[in-house]
Each structure stands twice: as C-alpha cells, then as structure tokens.
C-alpha cells in the first residue's frame, strides 16, 4: 500500500510518500510545497492545491494521512492554517482517496515513543526508520505522519482479521 503523509501549512506544506508492506516501510519520495508569502489568500490556496495535485498525480498513493491542526494563540494565523488544512484534506479526497487524521501527539508517540518529542527527534527517527530519506523538517514531519498511519492501519487490519476469524468460527 502506498501512503502519503501531509503536514499542512499555508507557506510550507510537507509531504512524504512511503510504501507499506506488512510492517515493512520503504521511503519513496518527500518534499515541501512552498507557496508565495504574499498575494491574495485565494490565489495562495489555489497554488497549494495545484502543488498537492501534482504530487498526488505523480506518486498515486492509495491513502492519505494528515496531521491535525493545533489551536494557535493568534486567531488569524489559526484561521489561515485551517484554510490551508482544508485544501490539504480536499486534494486527496477529491481523487477518491481515504483521508485519515492524526494528532501531533499521536504521531510523535508512534514515531519517537514520546508525545512531546522535538522536531529534531522526529527527524532522527524518520531517518532511522526510512533509510535513504534525506528529508528537511517539513518533509520529515510529513513522513512521520505516513509512518504513524502505516502503524495504525496495520494494527487495524490485524484486529479486523482476528474478528473475521472469530466470526467464521461461530
């Protein structure tokens, strides 16, 4: 299964693609979509959408995972991040992909083992778990989202398979 992890931002949105087979992960690609800092908000959101569309078209993932937004003290910044996050959720959903959302703490726990890990620790573990992934900060965060989803989706499949076995034995 090919997964894309997305770390939303209006100026910088990280993305990371991994292939997951059982409990094995392989880095495919990663990067950052950089949007102009100036200009009309609608145009900047459209630029983000086009960038995501190009990544989705190129790597054809089977599912997307997105980091949930934390509430910022600055209401205007939080609103703009929410708008960007809406675009990040829309782009894969518009292509019919299932989209999963994970909190920052769960992502950190899944990758580092500690819910309040620092960005440096996340990047270090991403590089350990995905050899050859030379990812900058935003892309490393996105790969962490993909890793988190791979772990949780794998666990969900195991539990579903066990339930199916129980049902067939009845």
Which residues are the active-site residues?
7, 67, 138
Rg of the chain over CA atoms, in angstroms?
17
DSSP state of 153: H
Task: In whole angstroms, give the CA distance from residue 61 to residue 19.
Answer: 9
The phi, psi pair for 99, rounded to 5°, reads: -120, 125
Task: In whole angstroms, give the CA distance from residue 43 to residue 56.
Answer: 20
């Amino acid at each position: 299964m090919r997964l894309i992890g997305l770390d939303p931002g209006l100026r910088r949105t990280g993305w990371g693609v991994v292939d997951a087979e059982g409990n094995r992960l392989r880095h495919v690609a990663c990067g950052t979509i950089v949007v102009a800092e100036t200009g009309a908000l609608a145009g900047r959101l459209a630029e983000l959408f086009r960038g995501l569309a190009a990544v989705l078209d190129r790597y054809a993932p089977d599912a997307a995972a997105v980091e949930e937004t934390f509430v910022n003290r600055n209401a205007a910044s939080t609103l703009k991040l929410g708008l960007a996050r809406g675009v990040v959720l829309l782009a894969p959903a518009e292509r019919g992909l299932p989209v999963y959302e994970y909190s920052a703490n769960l992502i950190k726990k899944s990758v580092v083992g500690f819910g309040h890990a620092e960005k440096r620790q996340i990047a270090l573990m991403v590089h350990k778990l995905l050899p050859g992934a030379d990812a900058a900060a935003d892309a490393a965060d996105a790969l962490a989202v993909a890793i988190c989803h791979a772990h949780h989706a794998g666990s969900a499949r195991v539990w579903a398979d066990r339930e199916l076995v129980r049902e067939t034995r009845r």
